[in-house]
Homo-oligomer: A and B are copies of this chain.
Amino acid sequence: MTMIPPGLLPEGLSDRLPPQAEASARVTRTVLDTVARHGFERVMPPLAEFEETLASRLKSAQPQDLLRVIDPVSQRTLALRPDMTAQVGRIAATRMANAARPLRLSYAGSVIRLKASQLRPERERMQVGAELIGADSVAAATEIVTVTIEALQAAGVKGITIDFTLPDLIDTLAAGHMPLSDTEKEAVRTELDAKDAGALAALGERAAAYLPLIEATGPFHAAMDRLEAWSAAHGGALDDRLKGLRAIAKPIDWDIRLTLDPTERHGFEYQSWFGFSVFADGFIGEIGRGGSYAIMRADGSEEAATGFSLYPDPLVDAGFGMVEPRRLFLPLGHDAARAAALRGEGWQSVAALSDSDDGSALRCTHWLDGPEPRPYGC
């Protein structure tokens, strides 16, 4: 093998440098602080677990996403976590099984996947989120959506869109009011994913009954009106779900754009009745997502949960979270007490260590002239 150049990192692994690293930490902190104010308490699961137990709880990630480690100590295969929600579920189901419900937990940390994708060139990402365990009610979903929006707004994200979905909608209808065989169901799903009305109609009469779902996509209230009319015409098949969605949307501020894509399922495969994606102006792709799901208890039964998670780094890359600090150069012989007082007022100080230190080159915005900060260039 050839020598690896000293600065080269493996594909998909990279350094975050100033000021992006600081901005990334700031976004993470803001999300954690926001959810903490709503009673979510921090957990810190380990970076790696036994592959077997981790894989059994994976939700948005798949076993083939795992980067594996042969552990000489346990003589087992470990896997680095590709996602933290599975770990939070494990904690809720085992060590915190007896904690009162609903249990509100938050988390932040690096997650690693085996492979990058074109959409996600990074194999390691920071993930931050909150999970409400013991409830998947409308009230739980409302809290999670509200907290998600509050956290993103606190992080400076503007032009937020929440896109609602009903992940198990097709399963529910196919098993009830609008029967489909498993084969038909897969075909219907494929055409709904492609939003291909012609192909859906061509699948036959039972499949064609699902056609109105394609049109019930787009701006929330118009799409809901259509779905509600359709539900009423089908014996109220979706009334409970739609009533729930209306209740979740109700407390959301008017400046948040709401959309509905009732049959969207990409990435929501593991979710139960409710899911949502978050988008923002000037940001390509999804910022974060959440919804309701089930956690496996230690006895094999299921416990309802609702949560959200997001990835701060793409937000930072899109320019969110950046703050220009007031950075103050302290010349040799400066007044240390005055400098400490200014740090207390929010200044970052950079103390000269020798005559040759150059405050301007060290990206200071000001220098301490006697007791007063003076801007460079004035």
Contact = CB atoms under 8 A, between A and B. Distances in A.
Interface in A8-35: 8-19, 21-22, 24-25, 29, 32
Contacts of A239: none
A349 B39 contact: yes
A17 to B, nearest CB: 6
A298 interface: yes
A357 interface: yes
A120 to B, nearest CB: 13
B353 A143 contact: yes
A244 interface: no
A50 B124 contact: no
Contact of A53 (B6, B22, B140): B6
Interface in A79-94: 80, 87, 90-91, 93-94
B100 A361 contact: yes
A44 B32 contact: no
B37 A17 contact: no
Interface stretch (A110-118, A165-173, A185-193, A367-375): A110-118
A42 B15 CA distance: 11
A9 B348 contact: no
B95 A7 contact: yes
A122 to B, nearest CB: 9
Contacts of A116: 73
Contacts of A45: 15-16
A10 B363 CA distance: 45
A183 interface: no
Contacts of A102: 353, 357, 362
Interface in A137-164: 137, 139-140, 143
Q: Which bucket holds chain A's interface residue count?
A: 35 or more
A324 B363 CA distance: 39
A43 B16 contact: yes
- A-B complex: 9 closest residue pairs judged by Cβ atoms: A7-B94, A18-B41, A39-B350, A16-B44, A13-B46, A100-B361, A139-B353, A21-B42, A21-B44
Interface of A: 1, 3-4, 6-19, 21-22, 24-25, 29, 32, 36-39, 41-50, 52-53, 56, 67-74, 76, 78, 80, 87, 90-91, 93-96, 100, 102, 104-105, 109-110, 112, 114-116, 123-124, 126, 132, 135, 137, 139-140, 143, 251, 296, 298, 327, 336, 343, 347-351, 353-354, 357-358, 361-363
23 contacts: A1-B76, A6-B90, A6-B94, A7-B93, A7-B95, A8-B50, A10-B46, A10-B73, A15-B43, A17-B95, A18-B41, A22-B41, A25-B44, A29-B29, A37-B343, A38-B343, A67-B71, A68-B69, A68-B70, A69-B69, A73-B123, A102-B353, A137-B354
Given A15-B87, A15-B91, A67-B71, 4 more contacts: A6-B94, A10-B74, A18-B43, A132-B353
